[in-house]
Structures are given as C-alpha cells and as structure tokens.
Amino acid sequence: MHFKARAVAQLADAGVQSNLKKAKGKFVDKRRDAIAEFLAQGGDFEALREAGMELRNRVLADLDLWLEKFEVNATARGAKVLWARDGAEACRLIVDIAKRHGVKKATKSKSMLSEEAGLNQALEAAGIQPVETDLGEYILQINDNEPPSHIIAPVVHKSKEEIADLFARVHKKPRLTDIGEMTREAREVLRSHFLSADMGISGGNFLVAETGSVALVTNEGNGRMVTTVPKVHVVITGIEKVIPTLEDLSLLLRLLIRSATGQPISNYVSLLTGMKGEGDLDGPENMYFVLVDNGRSDLLASEFNDMLRCIRCGACMNHCPVYQTIGGHAYGWVYPGPMGSVLTPLYMGMENALDLPHAATLCNQCGVVCPVKIPLPDLLRTLREKQVEKKLRPLSERLALKAWAWVATRPALYALGTKFAVRYLNWLAGGGKSIAVLGAAPEWTAGRDFPAPQGRTFREMYARRKRS
C-alpha cells in the first residue's frame, strides 16, 4: 500500500484521528514551556541550537577519526566493537552473540535501529525471545508486533481503551482502565522478564569517543534495567551517533530532552562504560557495540549530509501539520514525520517512497524546532528535484512543470495566464469566497475548500501603483 492510500485510511479512522488530536497540543506545549523555563534560568536556547549544529557538523566532518577514537577507548575498557554494513548483518552479529552466550531471552530498551534492522524477527527466528520493555514498545509487541507510529511515543495513535482491551486479552487478567493501574500491571509482567533475561539490548542516544561509552536517555528506567541485570549488554546504534566529549554530551542532552518530551532532563540518563569490575555487585560481564551503517555513510558529504546531525527527538513530527493529521503509520517505515520523509527515501530507495518528499507543506515548522537546525524543507525540496532528474515523477507531471516553466519565463504570457486564471477561479467560486470543487484538481478540494482569489493579481496592482 502506498503513502496516499495509507494516509486516506488513517484520515478515515475515527479512533486514530481522535487520539492524534489529543496528543498534538501536549508535545508542542511541553516543549514551549520547557524552553521558556530554560530562558528564565538564563539559558539561550537559540545559542544552544547553534552550538549543537556546529558540534554535530564537526564530528561528521571527521567521522572516521571519531569512530576510531571511540573504538579504541571502548575496547580499552573491555567492550567489543563490531561493525555492520546493514540491518541484516547487524541481526546476524547479534544472533551470534546471543548463541555464544547461550541466551534464551533478551530484554530490549528502545532502539529505532533495531526496528530498521528487523532485529526482533531475527532473534525470534533463531529461537531467542526478544522482550520490548519500553511501555509503548511493549504494547506494540504484544499487539502482534505492530509498528510504532512515533519515535519517542510509539503508541500515540492508540487510546487507553484499546490498550485496556489488549492487556485484558494478553495478560489474561481483569480489564483495568486506570492508566496508573495498567502501568503497574505491565511493570509486574516486565519485572519478571528483566530479572530472567540473559541479554540486554539497548540503542544508544550517543556514543562518547573520549570515554568509549554509550549514553542512554529514558524515563521509565528500562534502559537501566537491561544494562544492569543481564550478563550480556549489546548496544545497537548508528555510526553517526558518536560525539567527542562528556561536555558535548551535556550540551546535546540540554537540547534533546527539551525538544523531545519538554522536560529539563529525563528521569534517567546513564553513561555506560565497559563491564562489571572485580568486586562489583552488579553489571554485565560482556559488553558489545554493534555500529551500523545501513546507508548512513552514503549521505556523508552529500547534499543530505545535514540529515546525519539528527538526534532523534521527534520535535519535527510533533510540530508537523501533516503528521498531526495522518499519524506515523501512513509514512510506511520506521521513521515518520519530516525526518522520516527525508530518511525513508534515502535509506530505502527513492523509487520506493515517491510520495514522502511531497507529504509536506514546506511550512518550516520542523526547521525552526529542530534542535540541530536541520533544514528539513530544503532537504525535501532537494529530494523532489532528484525525483524529477531521475525521471521518477509521472510524465504528465513533468510535462506540466515544463509547460509552467516555459510560460513563467515569458512575462507577457505569464501575466495573461494569471489574469485568466483569476477570472476562472472567481467564476468557479460563483462570487463566493471559496471554491467547493477545483475543476483541474478535484482531489485538492476533497477534504477542504479552495479560497477564491481576492481582488486583482499582484502584477496588476504593481502596474497600477507604478503609474500613480
């Protein structure tokens, strides 16, 4: 199913629509309040965004050296650093690790890369039970491995009633409807998994080159659980996540958390370096990093290099009018919203995601909230250009664009054209302020009216003003 069909289905789903409406104000308000509080504390959020952008650019410009530095320091603390070209190789490496350590059950804290790689399916196929432990991801897993619809709030599309039904069915317990009680029930189910798992798998918010560590940000504490209790800890993360120092980590945390959940800090931030030391009472005995490329290196130093700065906060989707209307599932892959509309065609092939670069109004809400100043509308526009260059757009559209360009470069013809267009649109509006059905593009007015042009064209007004 293509984007358009999926978007139509999401628009027609009253449940999804009502859940999206409930969520949309919350993220936006919380971020705004957190930034206001930071300003009141004497912080300068714009200066922070600028510094965040500069820092991420600096790392990407010497990514090879920073990765090598990270590898040296992580290895010095006893961790094993493995490299995977794509998701399939990452899965193979992790299944091998699990087999080597006789792992039967692996608890997982949230990792978008493991979604990219399809890691849960690979573990299951190898007879290893993966257990998602982020509450949202857990809900999706027990609902027949439903994909997430948001990178930090994976079940934003679901109501508590749907989740209550699911819990009653899967947990085989009386149906609860209080969110606090439902959370406690999930806590108890997951607690037994935490304590019995042989391996913990986490993503990585950042890799710190200076210390060879992974930094994890969670609110629930599941990130701490999966990296404290099991005897093996595997970090699966992208090669672009490396940063130089702990001070840089502090800078990026100030940006990431406010942009993501609107908190000044998440409940838990953990910096994990190496394994359980002699005499330590807890901690894993083995630590592995699986650094995954999966298309990232191709973006380096390309016109899409800016996208590699992304720190996966979700602010772009929270503020996107398209995402707010259709939700994450319509985007069809792991990453939704504006960042997904850029990443999906780049990682999955442009020809496999033709609609996504067009699923944007280019209003630049995403650009102004991005904590590392990724010019998302520019990248979407560049993708659109590439589609035309590669002849991936329909012939009719390409011809229409050519015709438009031909007219637009001939001022007299253009003036005449717009004059007639205005008259035509006014005729369609029948003297009213809006047009119910747009003749040439009826799809445009399927869900809304088209505003009728008001008064004269810009060129007419300009010509008149020049005369007077």
Partner 1 sequence: MNDSRDLILGRIRERLGRSPANVAPAQTAMDVALAAKSAGPRPRTDADLVAAFRARSEALASTVDQVACLADVPRAVAAYLAEHKLPARAVCVPDLAGLDWRGAGVEVEARGAIDHDLVGITGCFRAIAETGTLMLCTGRATPATVSLLPETHIAVVPATAIVDGMEEAWSAARSEFGQMPRAVNFISGPSRTGDIEQTIVLGAHGPYRVHVVIAHGQ
Q: Rule CB under 8 A: which of 225-264 touch partner 1?
A: 225, 227-229, 239, 244-251, 253-254, 261, 264
Dist CA 346 CA 300 (whole Å): 12
Site residues (CB under 8 A) for partner 1, limited to 173-212: 179-180, 182-184, 187, 190-191, 194-195, 209-211
Stretch that binds partner 1, among 53-61, 343-351, 353-361, 449-457 (CB under 8 A): 53-61
Q: Which two tokens stand for residue 450?
A: 């088209």
In the bound state with partner 1, the residue whose beta carbon lies nearer, of 51 and 392, is: 51
Rg value, the chain, Cα: 25
In the bound state with partner 1, the residue whose beta carbon lies nearer, of 10 and 270, is: 270
Q: Which of 2, 21, 22, 459 binds partner 1 (CB under 8 A)?
A: 22
Length reported for the chain: 468
Give the angle 399-400-406 at the CA atoms, nearest 5°.
Answer: 90
Q: 338-370: b or e for each residue (b if 16 or more CB lie within 10 Å)?
A: bbbbbbbbbbbebeebbbbbbbbeeebbbbebb
Phi, psi dihedrals of residue 52, rounded to the nearest 5°: -65, -45
Site residues (CB under 8 A) for partner 1, limited to 102-161: 133-136, 139, 153-156, 158-160
Residue 279 Cβ, how far from partner 1 at the closest point, in Å? 4
In the bound state with partner 1, the residue whose beta carbon lies nearer, of 213 and 387, is: 213
Site residues (CB under 8 A) for partner 1, limited to 260-299: 261, 264-277, 279-283, 291, 293, 297-298
Contact between 346 and partner 1 (CB under 8 A)? no
3-class secondary-structure state, position 345? helix
Q: Which of 62, 124, 385, 397 binds partner 1 (CB under 8 A)?
A: 62
Q: Which of 16, 20, 27, 343 binds partner 1 (CB under 8 A)?
A: 27
Residue 259 Cβ, how far from partner 1 at the closest point, in Å? 15
Site residues (CB under 8 A) for partner 1, limited to 74-93: 77, 82-85, 89, 93
CB 11 within 8 A of CB 17: yes
Residue 322 Cβ, how far from partner 1 at the closest point, in Å? 20
Residue 242 Cα to chain centre, angstroms: 18
Dist CA 269 CA 251 (whole Å): 13
DSSP states of 396-407: HHHHHHHHHHHH
Stretch that binds partner 1, among 9-17, 18-26, 351-359, 445-453 (CB under 8 A): 18-26
Using CA of residue 98, residue 101, residue 105, residue 107, what is the dihedral sign?
negative
Dist CA 115 CA 27 (whole Å): 23
Dist CA 276 CA 291 (whole Å): 22
In the bound state with partner 1, the residue whose beta carbon lies nearer, of 110 and 322, is: 110
In the bound state with partner 1, the residue whose beta carbon lies nearer, of 60 and 360, is: 60
Dist CA 231 CA 219 (whole Å): 23
Strands 434-435 and 450-451: antiparallel
Q: Which of 2, 36, 44, 421 binds partner 1 (CB under 8 A)?
A: 44
User: What track of x and - describes contact with partner 1 for positions 298 through 337 (by CB under 8 A)?
Assistant: x-xxx-----------------------------------
Q: Which of 1, 47, 405, 412 binds partner 1 (CB under 8 A)?
A: 47
In the bound state with partner 1, the residue whose beta carbon lies nearer, of 268 and 450, is: 268
In the bound state with partner 1, the residue whose beta carbon lies nearer, of 69 and 358, is: 69
Dist CA 69 CA 445 (whole Å): 56
- Which run of H or of E encompasses 38? helix 14-40
In the bound state with partner 1, the residue whose beta carbon lies nearer, of 162 and 460, is: 162
In the bound state with partner 1, the residue whose beta carbon lies nearer, of 92 and 398, is: 92
Exposure of 332 in the CB half-sphere (CA atoms within 13 A): 23
Residue 423 Cβ, how far from partner 1 at the closest point, in Å? 49
Q: Which of 1, 14, 42, 409 binds partner 1 (CB under 8 A)?
A: 42
Q: Which two tokens stand for residue 124?
A: 């299951």
In the bound state with partner 1, the residue whose beta carbon lies nearer, of 212 and 377, is: 212
Strands 268-272 and 242-243: unpaired
Strands 129-132 and 232-238: unpaired
In the bound state with partner 1, the residue whose beta carbon lies nearer, of 7 and 225, is: 225
Rounded to 10 degrees, the C-alpha dihedral 269/274/277/283 comes to 50
Stretch that binds partner 1, among 57-65, 199-207, 319-327, 455-463 (CB under 8 A): 57-65
For residue 209, which of 324, 65, 345, 392 has the smallest C-alpha distance?
Answer: 65
DSSP state, 451?
A: E
